[in-house]
Amino acid sequence: MGFGNRDKPAGKSGRVGFVEGRLNELRRRWENSTDEREKNEVSEQIREWQSFRSERSAPSGGGRS
């Protein structure tokens, strides 16, 4: 399910593109989920990934907060 090299963003900020793709996947999962517990889990993950997206200032900050 990974993407081929030609589909990756060209050098710019691959991490931001990755986060956007992950967020889109999580939103799809949220829309398709049937029970409340799964919706809560997925929306929590969406919040976490959105916080990654906003910390663009450190492109290769390897540490987790």
- Extents of the domains making up the chain: 12-54
Q: Which residue has the higher pLDDT, 3 or 39?
A: 39
Mean local confidence (pLDDT), 39-57: 86
> What is the structure's pLDDT at 16?
75
Q: Which residue, chain included where needed, has tokens 């929306």?
A: 43
**CA–CA distance, 37 with 42 (Å, rounded to integer):** 9
pLDDT in tens, 9-40: 444 567 778 889 999 999 999 999 999 999 99
Model's pTM, two decimal places? 0.58
Mean pLDDT estimate for the chain: 77
**What distances in angstroms separate CA 65 from CA 2, 41, 47, 48, one per listed residue?**
27, 20, 15, 11
